[in-house]
Structure 1
Amino acid sequence: MRTLTYFIATSLDGFIADPKGGFGDFLFEGDHMTALFEEYPDTLPAQAREAMGIDAPNKTFDTILMGRATYQVPGGLPSPYPHLRQYVVSTRLTTTPPDVEVIAESPLARVRELKEEPGLGIWLCGGGRLAATLLPEIDELVLKIHPIVLGKGIPLFAGDTPTTHFAKATTRTFDTGVIFATYTKSDT
């Protein structure tokens, strides 16, 4: 069975973006970025992969799930991750390129189907409301914790969620102060 991983940047106070959906306050330079490029090249959009000359096969993920706001980030591409199977969960989005599928209803059921298919992992890219909806199916959290307090914004999980336990798998601290913390779903 495939794994659903919520791989996301977050502030110290648990926000994945500012109130308008921006993430410009996060750090985009430093040793944590080198690790990101080397270890998770699948998570880079097409423009970044092209600029960096990354044409390697996917290592971790072959599928991406995004909420509408994540997909329509300002300046975004109509097909931001052509090296992945792209899904956008939205009831309002109607037009996408052929390689981007819209999930308009039952995202939990669709994720369960995707997890049963063969392949690499499934990357939940954002946003917070979608993460709250899909929490029962999230197997792993990979949090890129940035040393900043935003004070307000889009929370890691936006909405009512059941208490869900995760166990620490790994942590890695970088000179920039960014921490990569990986947690796996726990039975307790």
Structure 2
Amino acid sequence: MTRITADISVSLDGFVTGPDPGPRNGLGTGGDALHTWAFSDAPDDRRIVREATARSGAVVLRRLFDLVDGPDGWNDEVGYGAREATRPAFVVVTTAPPESVRLSGLDWTFVTTGLADAVATARGRAEAASSAAGRELDVVLMGGGATIRSALDAGLVDELTLHLAPVVLGGGTPLFSGGTPRTLVQRTVVSTSTATHLTYDVGR
């Protein structure tokens, strides 16, 4: 069964960017430290990246698309699955599809009717990819704290994966700010030198 996994890096004080994020500074001041684990050559960190990308049938983004497709965004060395073989479909929640994309080699679908429809579209793409691959593939929801909060509040998420970075940012974009109280079921904890990787089942 295709699962919807929200996956995001977060600081010890609960931020997914540092202070003052913007188009030329997407992760804010000091925010790059949140993703040190993703570029680590430590075996456990590499395994987590490899396993996550290998099971991804589709990825949902929202505002993050403007950064990853921008001039300083993803490339062959930096980006989802950049150091791995996989290239899932990408589904972008937007009010208006762009006239063109820089990363034309990736599979982009733009959904203008909201997050729930984007997740449904991504599920369909992941299920088709699962049939082609002969194994279960999931939908990965990334693209910022607001997107993940909205998805959790709407009951769209089956699994939450947090990469807890050993950094205190002191400000920025919070992962959780208000929303619906929720009890999670802890599934796995993997501690490395660069992060503590936590996975939870999300109750509906």
- Verify same fold: TM over 0.5: yes
Going from structure 1 to structure 2, the CA distance change for 1:27 and 1:3 (only over 3 Å counts) comes to closer
State the 1:39 CA deviation.
3.1
Residues 26 and 148 of structure 1 are in contact (CA less than 8 Å); yes or no, is this contact kept in structure 2?
Answer: yes
The answer as to 2:172 corresponding to 1:172 is: no
The answer as to 2:198 corresponding to 1:181 is: yes
Matched position secondary structure for 1:105: coil
Going from structure 1 to structure 2, the CA distance change for 1:186 and 1:142 (only over 3 Å counts) comes to same
Residues 157 and 202 of structure 2 are in contact (CA less than 8 Å); yes or no, is this contact kept in structure 1?
Answer: yes
State the 1:10 CA deviation.
0.6
Q: Which of the numbers 156, 161, 167 marks the counterpart of 2:179? A: 161
Matched position secondary structure for 2:110: strand
**Which blocks of at least 5 consecutive residues in structure 2 are unaligned?**
81-85, 131-136
Structure 1, residues 72-93: CA drift from partner, whole Å, max 9, x if none?
A: 2461138955711011112145
The one-letter code matched in structure 1 to 2:61 is: M
The answer as to 2:57 corresponding to 1:62 is: yes
Mapped partners of 1:83, 1:27: distance in 2:
20
**Which blocks of at least 5 consecutive residues in structure 1 are unaligned?**
44-57
Moved >4 Å (runs of 4+): 29-33, 78-82
Matched position secondary structure for 2:34: coil
Going from structure 1 to structure 2, the CA distance change for 1:90 and 1:36 (only over 3 Å counts) comes to farther
Normalized against structure 1, the TM-score is what? 0.75
Residues 60 and 90 of structure 2 are in contact (CA less than 8 Å); yes or no, is this contact kept in structure 1?
Answer: yes
The answer as to 2:99 corresponding to 1:89 is: no
CA RMSD between the two structures: 2.9
Mapped partners of 1:165, 1:113: distance in 2:
27
Counterpart for residue 115 of structure 1? 123
Structure 1, residues 32-80: CA drift from partner, whole Å, max 9, x if none?
A: 853232233276xxxxxxxxxxxxxx52112111122355246113895
The percent identity for this pair of structures is 24
Counterpart for residue 53 of structure 1? none
Mapped partners of 1:33, 1:16: distance in 2:
22
State the 1:147 CA deviation.
1.1
Higher strand residue share? 1
* Structure-to-structure mapping, 1:142-153, within 5 angstroms: 142-153=161-172
Q: Which of the numbers 13, 33, 36 marks the counterpart of 1:25? A: 33
